[in-house]
Structure 1
């Protein structure tokens, strides 16, 4: 402001400026506060939904483990209701495990395939892929099992994958390739002590 104007003139200039800009400032503040409140509400709703999904997951898995007659249907309903949540993928893994125990390999393979197609979680994906490969091998679909193992890219799983590849090749009757897979697995971090036993068995 001009230093030569009186205090009264300064007050009048402030009033004029506020009259021109005040509404915009107030509106901006209201929008800003409203946006903050909306964002906090959204976060609270997301957290609440996660907690509800977690509780529901625990309940259906407990029923599955208890052997309840409606457990399979309950888990399937949970998966359908929470398709966008990783809890649905975890539920599919647990359901597949129960189906394998009951000898229903086709249903288990279907659940694992669904889980693989609905997660990008690097902690979950290799679990589902290797389990599916084991099911294919059990069904004598050895090429499918090997193809599934080829999809596992997580470095921390490569020793397990190579060993499992050897198991599948051995089941297939290809002892030479199985031995190569076991030897390759031995060279990787996290190799199983059982590999040497498997190699010794092949040498007999």
Structure 2
């Protein structure tokens, strides 16, 4: 009986050896790939968390510098943040805040540079779209109408339709095209949610043009 079992075990072992010789290498590579992917995923998760933590700390530093009114130091800190964390949400937000501070300090060129970078970042599409709208506003203010028109003709998320239409109205109004401006402002009212506080500003613009509000 024992010999019979030994023969069966030996046969099974021989079959396994034959199978492993034929497929073992492929199986090993599959396992390595799977385990490697798992390790890479865990590593990426750790890296992403670490990046976010470090970027958050730099965001607070940029905010602190903006609060002091030191635009040169704020810009330098933001430039450093862009180099170290170009794909992090915090860096985009810092760019928007820096642009606002620069504009209020009478430095529109600094603001435009920051907004251009934020608009080109893929970290958050909403912040990128907001940067484009604000940049278009600065271009309109500096009478760079062609550039503003090109920027407003690029792709925007659907939820920005109202803001973009309003900004196109500002562009038309700045070019002396009152009828076109009224049309754009009416379009903005149709696209903006009823509860959106921004609607009030658009309504004021329409009233100044002697136009009626869109229903």
Once the two structures are overlaid, the 10-residue window that deviates more, 173-182 or 187-196, is: 187-196
Distance in 1, matches of 2:62 and 2:147, equals: 31
2:93 aligns with one of 86, 90, 93 = 90
Contact 1:152–1:161 (Cα < 8 Å) also in 2: no
Once the two structures are overlaid, the 10-residue window that deviates more, 43-52 or 156-165, is: 43-52
Instruction: Tell me how far 1:96 sits from its aligned partner.
Output: 1.3
Report 1:65-144 matches (<5 A): 65-68=67-70, 70-119=73-122, 121-144=124-147
Distance 1:64 1:21, change over 3 A: farther
Instruction: Tell me how far 1:50 sits from its aligned partner.
Output: 2.8
Contact 1:112–1:132 (Cα < 8 Å) also in 2: yes
Distance 1:52 1:180, change over 3 A: same
Coordinate RMSD, CA, aligned: 3.1
1:203 aligns with one of 196, 200, 210 = 210
Distance in 1, matches of 2:207 and 2:35, equals: 71
Contact 1:89–1:119 (Cα < 8 Å) also in 2: no
Name 1:49's counterpart in structure 2. Answer: 51
SS at match of 2:191: coil
Instruction: Tell me how far 1:108 sits from its aligned partner.
Output: 1.1
For normalisation by structure 2, the TM-score amounts to: 0.75
Distance 1:21 1:98, change over 3 A: same
Report 1:154-173 matches (<5 A): 154-173=157-176
Distance 1:154 1:22, change over 3 A: closer
Structure 1 residues without counterparts, runs of 5 or longer: none
Instruction: Tell me how far 1:79 sits from its aligned partner.
Output: 1.2
Instruction: Tell me how far 1:49 sits from its aligned partner.
Output: 2.5
Kindly report structure 1 stretches of 4+ aligned residues shifted beyond 6 Å. none
How far does the alpha carbon of each residue in 1:96-154 deviate from its partner, in whole angstroms, 9 at most, with x for none?
Answer: 11111111111211221222223373312220111001101111223322332222532
Name 1:9's counterpart in structure 2. Answer: 7
Q: For this pair of structures, how many residues does the alignment match? A: 199
Q: Is 1:148 paired with 2:151? A: yes
Distance in 2, matches of 1:182 and 1:120, equals: 30
Instruction: Tell me how far 1:162 sits from its aligned partner.
Output: 1.6
For normalisation by structure 1, the TM-score amounts to: 0.79
Contact 2:102–2:108 (Cα < 8 Å) also in 1: yes
Contact 1:79–1:91 (Cα < 8 Å) also in 2: no
